[in-house]
Amino acid sequence: MDNILTIQKTFYKVADFVSWTKKKGLVLSPYFQRRPVWNKGAKSFLMDTIYKGLPIPIIFLRDRGIDKRTFEPIREVIDGQQRLRTIISFIAPELLTDYKPASDDFIVNKTHNKDLAGKKFSELDDDTQDRILNYEFNVHILPSNVDDRDVIQIFRRMNSTNYTLKKQELLNAQFFGEFKTSQYTLAAEQLERWRGWKTFTEDEIARMQEVELTSELSISILEKSILGKSSAQIENYYKKKDENYEERDEIEKRIRDVMDFIYQNFSGNKNDFVFFKKTIFYTFFITCYDLLFGLATSPKVPKIADKITQTLINDLKVKGDRIRVRTAPSFVLDATDRRTTNPKERKDLFNYLKA
């Protein structure tokens, strides 16, 4: 590939891809590309993304010339096979010549979209069908003179610039169910507070560290205990609560109540309030949660938050100031200086704040 490559950049609607499939003008499975089949959660999440008009990654096609029998242009999917297969499976599965019910059948989960949940495309109203069919993909088309070796080189070059994914980013790509959806909802709701408190940098937010924190908080409420930071434990809950997260509504309500309490009573100290630091926010949140709901309280039973006196609020502010100016006990300073994700240090700080 010594020459400068000319790539056509355009937009095509979902209806275009369905039409090309019907006319046998779309090659979905080029022989050099064999990707793992998406799970049903990923497919459901994609349909919600399309329904809401949100962007998805670029679709790459290759021009394969004209079919001399049908006189139709042939387009080969270079990247985007699973996205397009999911959409066609939902809209018109009969158009897929290699359709397999075991791997291709799916329904939209109510966790992702209540309007589409449990319905086939044919059961949707006209406006919803039009919304899906008119969704536009950003498409790049490689010219017909690009051979398979060139395609492989292009995608190796693209992938060579990718950074190593963090554990939370890998979880985002792997799970699409109840627990994952809940954590991303909670984290997104608090975005402006994370920014205002400077708890996370923009890069940390881009890499989903605030989602990792909401996951930690939810798990601690479920476990009714102060825990150390553990990627393995977070992954376990993503698996265990993927399809059935019965405590979801109550835990989301409690987390929102605690975040509102913190915002209403401590935001005035945001420039010098030590507990907004990412490294110790977990313990501060759990302390406030314990005051409002009781850490030992089951999240399976709805509970209204307790009233917190101004005296207790002021006491937390004073202890925060003592940590900031280094007059707190040495074991507390040790707990906030190092190993802040360790359960012992978290418990030491918690006990100091509650004393």
Residue range 107-145, pLDDT digits in tens: 999 989 999 999 999 999 999 999 999 999 999 999 988
What confidence score (pLDDT) does residue 2 get?
56
13 lies in the same domain as 139: yes
135/36 same-domain check? yes
Last residue of a domain, one of 159, 175, 206: 159
Instruction: Indicate the residue among 132, 159, 186 that finishes a domain.
Output: 159
d(CA 131, CA 53): 8
Residues 14 and 64 in one domain: yes
Task: Tell me the residue range of the domain where 214 lies.
Answer: 167-354
Last residue of a domain, one of 104, 124, 159: 159
Q: What is the mean pLDDT of each run of 10 residues along the chain (355 residues)?
A: 77 96 87 67 94 93 88 89 94 92 90 93 96 96 85 70 73 87 93 92 90 96 95 93 94 98 85 87 97 96 95 95 94 88 93 94
Do residues 154 and 172 both lie within one domain? no
**111 and 74, same structural domain?**
yes
Same domain, 259 and 116: no
Structural domain includes residue 246:
yes
239 and 305 fall within a common domain:
yes
* Residue 287 is assigned to a structural domain of this protein: yes
CB 285 within 8 A of CB 232: no
Q: How far apart are CA 266 and CA 316, in angstroms?
A: 9
Both 191 and 233 in one domain: the answer is yes
Q: Which tens digit of pLDDT belongs to each residue from 16-54? A: 999 999 999 999 876 555 555 788 999 999 999 999 999
Is 2 inside a domain boundary?
no
Are residues 288 and 177 part of one domain? yes
> Residue 91 falls within a domain, yes or no?
yes
| DSSP secondary structure code for residue 28 in this structure | -
306 and 204, same domain (yes or no):
yes
Q: 174-197 as b/e, with b when 16 or more CB fall inside 10 Å?
A: ebbbbbbbbbbebbeebeebbeeb
In this prediction, residue 160 carries a pLDDT of: 61
Our count of domains for the chain comes to 2
For residue 91, the number of C-alpha atoms closer than 13 Å in the C-beta half-sphere is 26
- Residue 183 counted as domain residue: yes
3 falls within a domain: no
Task: Give domain status of residue 40, yes or no.
Answer: yes
Q: Is 74 in a helix, a strand, or coil?
A: strand
User: Which residues lie below 8 Å from residue 343, measured CB to CB, with a gap of 6+?
Assistant: 226, 227, 228
Q: Which two tokens stand for residue 192?
A: 């402006």
| 63 inside domain | yes
Query: Are 232 and 95 found together in one domain?
Result: no
Reduced to 3 states (helix: H, G, I; strand: E, B; else coil), residue 207 is: coil
- The answer to whether residues 265 and 343 belong to one domain is yes
Confidence (pLDDT) at 30: 63
Tokens of 125: 């109203």
pLDDT at 287: 97
Question: Bridge partners of 136?
Answer: 13
